[in-house]
Amino acid sequence: MLSAIKLTLMLFLSGFIACYGSNPNYDSIHKLLLVSFDGFRADYLKNYRLPHLQEFIEDGVLVEHLINAFITKTFPNHYSIVTGLYEESHGIVANEMYDEDTKKKFSQFNDADPFWWNEATPIWVTNQQQENRRSAAAMWPGTDVKINNTTPHFFMKYNYSVTFEERMGNVTMWLNNSQPPVTFATLYWEEPDASGHKYGPDDKENMRKVLEQVDNHIGSLMDKLKALGLWESINVIITSDHGMAQCFPKRLIKLDDCIGRGNYTLIDTSPVAAVLPRSNKTYVYNLLKNCSTSMKVYLKEEIPDRFHYRHNKRIQPIILVADEGWTIVQNETLKKLGAHGYDNALPSMHPFLAAHGPAFHKGYKQDTINTVDIYPMMCHILGLKPQPNNGTFTNTKCLLADQWCVNLPEAIGIVVGVLMVLTTLTCLIIITKNRMSSPRPFSRLQLQDDDDPLIG
Ligand SMILES: *[C@@H]1O[C@H](CO)[C@@H](O)[C@H](O)[C@H]1NC(C)=O
Ligand SMILES: *[C@@H]1O[C@H](CO)[C@@H](O)[C@H](O)[C@H]1NC(C)=O
Ligand SMILES: *[C@@H]1O[C@H](CO)[C@@H](O)[C@H](O)[C@H]1NC(C)=O
Ligand SMILES: *[C@@H]1O[C@H](CO)[C@@H](O)[C@H](O)[C@H]1NC(C)=O
Ligand SMILES: *[C@@H]1O[C@H](CO)[C@@H](O)[C@H](O)[C@H]1NC(C)=O
Ligand SMILES: *[C@@H]1O[C@H](CO)[C@@H](O)[C@H](O)[C@H]1NC(C)=O
Ligand SMILES: *[C@@H]1O[C@H](CO)[C@@H](O)[C@H](O)[C@H]1NC(C)=O
Ligand SMILES: *[C@@H]1O[C@H](CO)[C@@H](O)[C@H](O)[C@H]1NC(C)=O
Ligand SMILES: *[C@@H]1O[C@H](CO)[C@@H](O)[C@H](O)[C@H]1NC(C)=O
Ligand SMILES: [Zn+2]
């Protein structure tokens, strides 16, 4: 009886491992293309028709929403994706930064000083420090900067006027052609973020138009990779940095109504404002604290742990976090109908992740992972030893074809299955024993009695 249990379990497990552990398509060179469509809010996938993206997902995996890093802005989250670090640990803590010691300033248009980037090492650098491998970048924050004295072997200077077709054409050419091979590449596109800011995510008509264009870009990327014969062997991740929230002209927090401008310097603006007090910090804090019920005011030391946004000198002494849909200004009127940057617990701030290729399962959906979990997963796919990071590899195991992953419904299924097989076996054994060890009179009659309930 015991050996029967053992045998059944072994059969089950070996079948299970055979199904989930093997991956016949896995290439010796694992190429990975990481694509970001800026500001692609998770629920756009549910609310708009995106046939090419759906086709990509059907044959790959989908993580319905990513818990991204606070603050939910572009530069910080793009750097979290490629380093696996929270913002306080990779040092790109905002789109606008100021360093008190060196008096240096950082902005989206003045981002080329390696000083800002060197607190972390992104995956494209680590990838190139392995023998015989190159990285390529068709834009991505930081890819045109020498980080640890290295840029991707192929890269483009950031220029938003370069069309998607040109970025895609160049990056796929680089992926196809070079010797030694390009094993890691990035591709970045500014939409649907730009339209999300301009129209606001509630403008269904305009968002439908831009998302149709984004979806067509995904279609042409798939076509291009197919035409080059790369589609079956390359791993492609399509993801984003953050979502978008609707803003309202009436939901303005005017700092000028609460505090004179001479008291502070505004380093970064809405919806997470970074405030550098000019004189008495407590005085400035008290005035701001009493300014609006629609924003939180934190001394740096008070910033909640869950934001992982405290331990870096580039985080200013006071930060203001507007509630969803609210805008912090000094005295201006509302300029953008959509914004992001808010609390990373808000669903409207979450992007998604989809992936396709030999490293990934086909047709698998998962509710969530963290943005910082993407990095250890990418290192695994590329066979790189990850730098110290804040991601958790096991969170992504179920997405990966070469990992053994049991999720809860599956586990319950297996247990029930094993129990059913064991019960059946036990019954059979008992019946067989009864049949063989019963040379009694009227045995036939008895057996018929026993059989009846089984037949019924
Ligand atoms: C920086 O680059 C050097 C070689 O250029 C390498 O030895 C070192 O490991 C790199 N540091 C990090 C943190 O990647
Ligand atoms: C794309 O590649 C072509 C051909 O190599 C080159 O002429 C062009 O400058 C590249 N585009 C960008 C934006 O780097
Ligand atoms: C940016 O790209 C556009 C379109 O290719 C080009 O006309 C322009 O000169 C580029 N700007 C810079 C600064 O390279
Ligand atoms: C892509 O690479 C393959 C194999 O090296 C080569 O045969 C093909 O011509 C390349 N395609 C392009 C468009 O460069
Ligand atoms: C600081 O703010 C207070 C309150 O608005 C104002 O009365 C004062 O003039 C400001 N101080 C400076 C130096 O701007
Ligand atoms: C700073 O402001 C607080 C509150 O307004 C006040 O109690 C304190 O004395 C001030 N400290 C200095 C050094 O001016
Ligand atoms: C806080 O604001 C209220 C009304 O908005 C005002 O009455 C009160 O004096 C303010 N307190 C401080 C400390 O500024
Ligand atoms: C906003 O403040 C600036 C500087 O104090 C001033 O020049 C401007 O007129 C103000 N604008 C409005 C709309 O109040
Ligand atoms: C994130 O990772 C870095 C590098 O290992 C580490 O220094 C930091 O303490 C981590 N942060 C958290 C919140 O664990
Ligand atoms: Zn963005």
> Tens digits of per-residue pLDDT, 188-198?
999 999 999 99
- Whole-angstrom distance, CA of residue 264 vs CA of residue 249: 25
- Give, as residue ranges, everything with CB less than 5 Å from ion ligand 10: 38-39, 74, 193, 241
Taking CA atoms, 443 is separated from 219, 229, 429, 434, in Å, by 72, 71, 18, 10
Residue of 163, 132, 123, 116 lying closest to 32 (CA atoms): 123
User: What is the rounded CA–CA span in Å between residue 225 and residue 218?
Assistant: 11
25 pLDDT higher than 60: no
CB 355 within 8 A of CB 36: no
The average pLDDT across 82-97 equals 98
pLDDT, the chain, mean: 89
Q: Mean pLDDT throughout 26-33? A: 72
Whether the per-residue pLDDT at 8 is higher than 60: the answer is no
Task: Assign 443 a pLDDT band (cuts: 50, 70, 90).
Answer: very low
Ligand 1 proximity of 366 Cβ (cutoff 6 Å): no
Quick one: pLDDT at residue 456? 35
CATH 3.30.1360.180 in the chain is located at 252-335
CA-287 nearest atom, ligand 7:
14
Rounded CA separation 71/77 (Å):
8
Active site residues: 74
Report the top-level CATH class of 252-335. alpha beta
What architecture (CATH level 2) is domain 25-245+343-399?
A: 3-Layer(aba) Sandwich (3.40)
Residue 436 pLDDT grade (very low, low, confident, very high; cuts 50, 70, 90): low
* Residues 213-227: tens digit of each pLDDT: 999 999 999 999 999
Among candidates 185, 233, 197, which has minimal Cα distance to 73?
Answer: 197
pTM for this predicted structure: 0.87
Coil/strand/helix, residue 80: helix
Q: Is the CB of 121 within 6 Å of ligand 1? A: yes
Q: Is the CB of 413 under 6 A from ligand 5?
A: no
pLDDT, position 5? 40
Give the percent of the chain with pLDDT over 70: 88
**333 has a pLDDT exceeding 90:** yes
pLDDT in tens, 113-143: 999 999 999 999 999 998 789 999 999 999 9
Portions of the chain given CATH number 3.40.720.10: 25-245+343-399
